[in-house]
Structure 1
């Protein structure tokens, strides 16, 4: 819309101040005028005129070089950068002019901010935009960005897993990323400090991180399959698990240990175990999938597919549009799609570092002599392929397939539970807290049952496995392993 003469100005004035027109007497009110212009950008566009009284009388104003500099500086404070049409309409028989700012509708670029703050227009009133409205506009602009910050008024603190929250806190304290005083704070305070609770309301990130039986989040889903051969024609195992990130991470790693081969080599008196693909590489890939995926589609999920020759881990999302693959494969700055979720995972030491996940995966694969992982993105999905042989390349392997209920070697998990119990007698809850596990099923399947089968750990009530005071201690054989 070109406003080149006084007739157009008069036509706009005749509409009076409304949702798309604002009058200001002089650029002494430039700040308020820019806030209104920002509000117009967040709506259907509009016009701000300087040199017109609030009654609609044209009075004009002097326009100096200083005035033009101040206008240019003010417009540069709009974010994101956008086109503003500026007109200086002369008044007949006068040195004064009407200064007109006009912006068209820019719905694809909303929300806009002026000096870091967003505004909205309701009828003829400009006001600060509420956080929830800002988040909604942000999601519309970026597809998924901002979904994690959207408040869910139906989500309650009792819908969250307190054990998962406190487990994250303990991990953060152990890793030096949270102060020790955090452990003594109540749950609402902890959630507020994690940016998960605002004004008594939880956001979507809280459900993704710590949700417990949250039926409104079908996208918090992990799909896992072990296929026979190298195609999807037939599978041996197929699982679907729903829950928070911590539960899904435990489940993913349990699935890898169940279906991948363990190869070992002797280093001195110790036997070192390796999965077909290094544990750290798989874990880092899964963490990145959970932290950076697009959650706004209810039907989306993370999927793990294991074949005879490869593993494919897929999640909904995209790589940053302005970041080349070459840069992604090297050290780079981290710009997570879900900064709230990523920050909590970092503080709890689940996410080890910023911008180094891909390099860690590559380094781990090279360490054991398998091909570098392949990174692909298309149609709103990212998938990583780890290729391997049935035995780990570069070692002298004695392969043990980790089928259900078969643990003939002392795995890393068994060694860990032996070290945790030591000279104590502990319940399953105490063991889970000390290890940092959130899912009891994973504790039993990967840690406790294998240790019992190998006669390293024994229950106090072996004939009553569900005894209410059931606890576990080391056997003499377990104590021998601990000493070794």
Structure 2
């Protein structure tokens, strides 16, 4: 913001959406006003301007910025406010601008436990009746996931993903078999995604294909060198529906975490340095239970030499502290519509068992239980590789690199070459190939064997235009046969 814009604002005088404060010495009163703006149509507070519009400015130090940030953090629920510091011409002083944008889906807001509203140019305490009404809208049928997007059409959704979710639900007994024969609109209505011909936001999060209106459907992934964020080795972003983001997350883990194998009975089990089931459960919870209302939010995965951190916007239920979450508990999903669809399609294994699964899986392989942290704005799950400073299951020379085959095959892993060897005699389904390889973890097979082979052009699909064809089979390409001959 330029100083000329501040002069233009001051000329409008204090109003329903504009407040002047002489300095940040009036932080409490100004935060009440910002809270009122958030409960209304938004607004701006200018610090360094007297009530009559005279600009006096104020000095800005690190302690000033900290005081503002700490005051904003007392506004509940968490909200991101835009703050600008504009220097007054020919002066060492600044005008501070705090902009509170309209937050329709997250009202009511409270500062220090009390809600406020704006009447003309006056800030006042919100009546209890109005507070209860806004609270009901936020937590009930008017929650963000249930809000209708009139521009979202059924053609904007991935039909294959919808039918895939239905098939998984039928296969695992969570949906009746008749569901697969029903029309897409009927399925969407039963999932709670379509009402009176209109799709809600949950439909886009679950099955969308175009995310121009949903920038928050984002996954950020990074592999850092060492134990800090100073230098990264790999940095990726993925945008898409929950199923796409879950696939991208697991692929990133398989790329950067070491893999070891052992024979267990008739099958070979391949284990990541952090159990696959724990990581998958963590990502599902992050994608399902996060706060989606803020367009700039995302889920992030950070892999370090000594730990993995998965972070999402949101917080734990107020009446379920972390200690209680570690035990068996009733599920209180932030997004019940999204959670219900994921449960029926068996992405969510069971209600209220996600954290317990993560803890049990880590203990099973001798790793410390994951840590669960929240500051009221974000939830972070930390998986550690080591216990008492001793590294576990990692390759010493490069803790996140999967062992490669000899240099004469510089682009192919041992797993890909094994797959090539299996396909030498014909074409087979995923189930058949996994049987030949003595594997029982389908996701591991897809990410370590099949997907890399397809990307390298060594393997092709029988139905390339329909990757999820129920009779899909795989065969060697000419390039794959040359590798086989070698």
Q: How high is the TM-score relative to the length of structure 2?
A: 0.59
Q: How does 1:343-422 map to 2 (within 5 A)?
A: 343-389=340-386, 391-392=392-393, 401=402, 405-409=411-415, 420=430, 422=432
1:289–1:315 CA contact under 8 A, matched in 2: yes
Corresponding residue SS for 1:285: helix
Q: 2:474 aligns with which of 463, 466, 472?
A: 472
Q: How does 1:52-451 map to 2 (within 5 A)?
A: 104-111=127-134, 138-139=137-138, 146-267=143-264, 270-389=267-386, 391-392=392-393, 401=402, 405-409=411-415, 420=430, 422=432, 447-450=450-453
Tell me how far apart the structure 1 counterparts of residues 273 and 142 of structure 2 sit (CA, whole Å): 35
Tell me how far apart the structure 2 counterparts of residues 293 and 221 of structure 1 sit (CA, whole Å): 12
Per-residue CA shift, 1:255-307, capped at 9, x if unaligned?
00000000233446654211010000000000001110000000000000000
Corresponding residue SS for 2:260: strand
Tell me how far apart the structure 1 counterparts of residues 361 and 208 of structure 2 sit (CA, whole Å): 32
Per-residue CA shift, 1:145-171, capped at 9, x if unaligned?
811001111111111111111110011
Corresponding residue SS for 1:265: strand
Q: 1:277 to 1:410 in 2, by over 3 A?
A: farther
Tell me how far apart the structure 2 counterparts of residues 217 and 458 of structure 1 sit (CA, whole Å): 33
Corresponding residue SS for 2:234: strand
Tell me how far apart the structure 1 counterparts of residues 403 and 296 of structure 2 sit (CA, whole Å): 31
Corresponding residue SS for 2:202: helix
2:428–2:474 CA contact under 8 A, matched in 1: no
The alpha-carbon deviation at position 109 of structure 1 amounts to: 2.3
Structure 1: 5+ residue stretches without partners: 1-42, 44-102, 113-136, 424-434, 462-469, 479-484
The alpha-carbon deviation at position 380 of structure 1 amounts to: 1.0
Q: 1:384 to 1:155 in 2, by over 3 A?
A: same
The alpha-carbon deviation at position 316 of structure 1 amounts to: 0.5
Moved runs in structure 1, 4+ residues, more than 2 A? 103-109, 264-272, 389-393, 402-407, 409-415, 417-423, 442-446, 448-455, 457-461, 470-475
Structure 2: 5+ residue stretches without partners: 1-39, 41-125, 405-409, 434-441, 464-471, 481-486
The alpha-carbon deviation at position 460 of structure 1 amounts to: 7.5
Tell me how far apart the structure 2 counterparts of residues 299 and 319 of structure 1 sit (CA, whole Å): 20
Q: How does 1:16-31 map to 2 (within 5 A)?
A: none
Per-residue CA shift, 1:111-130, capped at 9, x if unaligned?
48xxxxxxxxxxxxxxxxxx
Corresponding residue SS for 1:284: helix
Tell me how far apart the structure 2 counterparts of residues 323 and 444 of structure 1 sit (CA, whole Å): 36
2:416–2:448 CA contact under 8 A, matched in 1: no
Corresponding residue SS for 1:165: helix
1:258–1:402 CA contact under 8 A, matched in 2: no
